[in-house]
Amino acid sequence: DAGITQSPRHKVTETGTPVTLRCHQTENHRYMYWYRQDPGHGLRLIHYSYGVKDTDKGEVSDGYSVSRSKTEDFLLTLESATSSQTSVYFCATGQGGRGTYNEQFFGPGTRLTVL
Amino acid sequence: DAKTTQPPSMDCAEGRAANLPCNHSTISGNEYVYWYRQIHSQGPQYIIHGLKNNETNEMASLIITEDRKSSTLILPHATLRDTAVYYCIVRVGGLSGNTPLVFGKGTRLSVIA
């Protein structure tokens, strides 16, 4: 499995505060993703990156921003957290193209609670 | 929205084959069928994928119908550790790069002793 770590693993914060979640990978994968998972919704894509400084929005990107200044790190920022952003956040990475399965490898998740 | 339809839940006796169906009637010619599973609250795990031929690996087999409108994931000898939510996902693959996954609600498989 790809070496993917997420930090923090658990966080409780208050409405209106900024929050940054970090995803770190050691596999030199080009692609990185942030998904959120809520009961009854499965996983939904927030943002993704297809290279350093190259990012794009996903299905549920409102209220979130991302940055990728180096291959191994992908940061997800909630500028002003709201209770609707209480969720479990998963980071994923992947290679792409010839010789790969294009599969994605998922991190352990971050459980965020916004009070 | 997800392009696949799966039953919400299934049971399987331990040691028996688990057959998980998936309908993807609007699949395009350049789209692959991928299967992932999520055990309890862990991150999803890749199982297998295919384009049009049947595929087998150490975890499972994937049977895709000739018209590619449906498929079945087969766990040949289910164990209690196979209890999980299984997601069938259709996406562009091959040289198109690592595109985002669109998850539906999946099938919750319960393996019973």
Strand partners, B36: B46, B87
- pLDDT tens digits along B31-86: 999 999 999 889 999 999 999 989 999 999 999 999 999 999 999 999 999 999 99
How far is A29 from B97, CA to CA, in rounded Å?
Answer: 12
User: Identity (one letter) of the amino acid at B30?
Assistant: N
Q: How confident is the model at residue B17, as a pLDDT? A: 97
- Percent of chain B with pLDDT strictly greater than 90: 82
Q: Is the CB of residue A39 less than 8 Å away from at least one CB of chain B?
A: no
**DSSP character at residue B95:** G
Q: Which residues of B touch A92 (CB under 8 A)?
A: 43-44, 101
Helices (H), A1-115: none
Percent of chain A residues topping a pLDDT of 70: 95
Contact A107 B43 (CB under 8 A): yes
Residues in B closer than 8 angstroms to A100, CB to CB, are 98
Q: Which residues of A touch B104 (CB under 8 A)?
A: 42
Per DSSP, A36 falls in state E
pLDDT of A98 above 90: no
- Judged by DSSP in three states, A35 sits in strand
Distance between CA atoms of residues B89 and B35, nearest Å: 6
B50 contact A CB<8A? no
Distance between CA A43 and CA A88 in Å, rounded?
A: 9
